[in-house]
């Protein structure tokens, strides 16, 4: 069945969500001015689960699924991403690179299910990989090979979390994320104490200003509570094919926000890399739906 156009108010809501998720990379970078990265990530997940777990019913999924998701998304995706954003990669570029989680998710799904990779998926992967190679060829003081590698690993962790969530059978992501955050915060706090040390933690909290705490709050209120609630609302009322393509705009918002607020340069090579990665994402996401629609016309 052909997907219907979204009502204007729902389209605007979808754009608001991807704008929040895209600009969040700049918010993270601002918070890292005072807070050590692992501590910042730990606080994000602490406030994501508290006090929410006392008011939101536990999802009917195994605890092992919530624990695996919490570790992969918390310690894996965001722990590595926050470390990279501290000084190893520009926020706008990070918002683009981490989208390769789409390719990792497809790859993991194919590997676990034994399905054959289709030709258009190879084409999408080639475009995305070429974009990453362009970025790797232009690493400098603002975006280091280490930073690029950390964000790629964060994308792999995100993909693993996607597979865990899918296999758990969860249908409402907000309660799942809130409860899974119980398994994200403790290892991040332990890693912060072990790797960053009490002195850095104490100094970070002591010198954090209102802007820093606003960045922490935005991780919970904007990125998690609003983002997942609104996205879940839209997916419950429209086919996924009508909603998920808007996520392609996340790096657009991320790169634009970093350019406007942080002065991140946008040379031609970076725009070209963005075009390659996003073309690969668009091919992998939209081509099969176009084939289905074309076959029914």
Residue pLDDT, tens place only, 35-56: 999 999 999 999 999 988 999 9
Compute φ and ψ for 41, nearest 5 degrees.
-65, -40
pLDDT in tens, 119-146: 888 888 899 899 999 999 988 878 899 9
What percent of the chain shows pLDDT beyond 70? 94
Predicted pLDDT at 120 = 81
Q: What is the pLDDT of residue 1?
A: 39
Give the model's pLDDT for residue 245. 76
Please state the pTM of the whole predicted model.
Answer: 0.89
pLDDT at 6: 73
- CA-based nearest residue to 184, from 84, 36, 49: 49
Check whether 2 has a pLDDT greater than 60: no
> Do 139 and 22 form a contact (C-beta atoms < 8 A)?
no
The pLDDT value recorded for residue 4 is 53
Share of the chain above pLDDT 90, in %: 60
What average pLDDT does the segment 265-276 reach? 93
pLDDT at 213 over 50: yes
Q: Which of 62-66, 279-283, 285-289 has the lowest mean pLDDT?
A: 285-289
In this predicted structure, what is the pLDDT of residue 293? 63
Classify burial at 193, counting beta carbons within 10 Å of its beta carbon; exposed 0-12, middle 13-18, buried 19 or more: middle
pLDDT band at residue 240, thresholds of 50, 70 and 90? low
- Does 297 score more than 70 pLDDT? no
The confidence band for 64, taking pLDDT boundaries of 50, 70 and 90, is very high
pLDDT the model gives residue 152: 96
In the prediction, which pLDDT does 235 show? 76
pLDDT at 241 over 70: no
pLDDT at 212 over 80: yes
What pLDDT score was predicted for residue 277?
92
Q: What pLDDT score was predicted for residue 192? A: 97
Residue 248 CB burial class (10 angstroms; 0-12, 13-18, ≥19) = middle
């Amino acid at each position: 069945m052909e997907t219907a156009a979204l009502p204007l108010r729902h389209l605007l809501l979808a754009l608001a969500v991807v704008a929040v998720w895209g600009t969040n990379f700049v918010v993270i970078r601002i918070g890292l001015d005072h807070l050590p990265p692992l501590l910042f990530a730990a606080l994000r997940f602490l406030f994501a689960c508290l006090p929410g777990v006392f008011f939101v019913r536990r999802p009917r999924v195994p605890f092992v699924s919530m624990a695996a998701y919490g570790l992969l998304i918390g310690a894996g995706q965001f722990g590595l991403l926050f470390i990279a954003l501290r000084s190893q990669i520009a926020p706008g570029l990070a918002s683009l690179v981490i989208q390769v989680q789409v390719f990792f998710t497809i790859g993991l799904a194919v590997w676990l299910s034994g399905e054959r990779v289709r030709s258009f998926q190879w084409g999408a992967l080639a475009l995305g990989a070429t974009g990453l190679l362009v970025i790797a060829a232009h690493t400098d003081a603002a975006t280091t090979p280490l930073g690029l590698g950390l964000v790629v690993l964060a994308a792999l962790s995100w993909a693993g979390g996607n597979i865990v969530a899918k296999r758990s059978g969860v249908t409402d992501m907000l309660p799942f994320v809130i409860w899974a955050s119980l398994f994200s915060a403790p290892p991040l706090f332990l890693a912060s104490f072990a790797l960053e040390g009490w002195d850095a933690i104490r100094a970070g909290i002591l010198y954090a200003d209102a802007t820093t705490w606003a960045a922490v709050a935005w991780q919970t209120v904007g990125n998690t509570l609003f983002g997942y609630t609104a996205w879940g609302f839209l997916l419950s009322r429209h086919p996924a094919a009508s909603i998920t393509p808007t996520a392609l705009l996340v790096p657009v918002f991320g790169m634009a926000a970093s350019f406007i607020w942080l002065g991140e340069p946008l040379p031609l090579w970076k725009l070209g890399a963005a075009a390659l990665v996003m073309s690969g994402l668009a091919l992998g996401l939209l081509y099969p739906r176009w084939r289905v629609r074309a076959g029914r016309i």
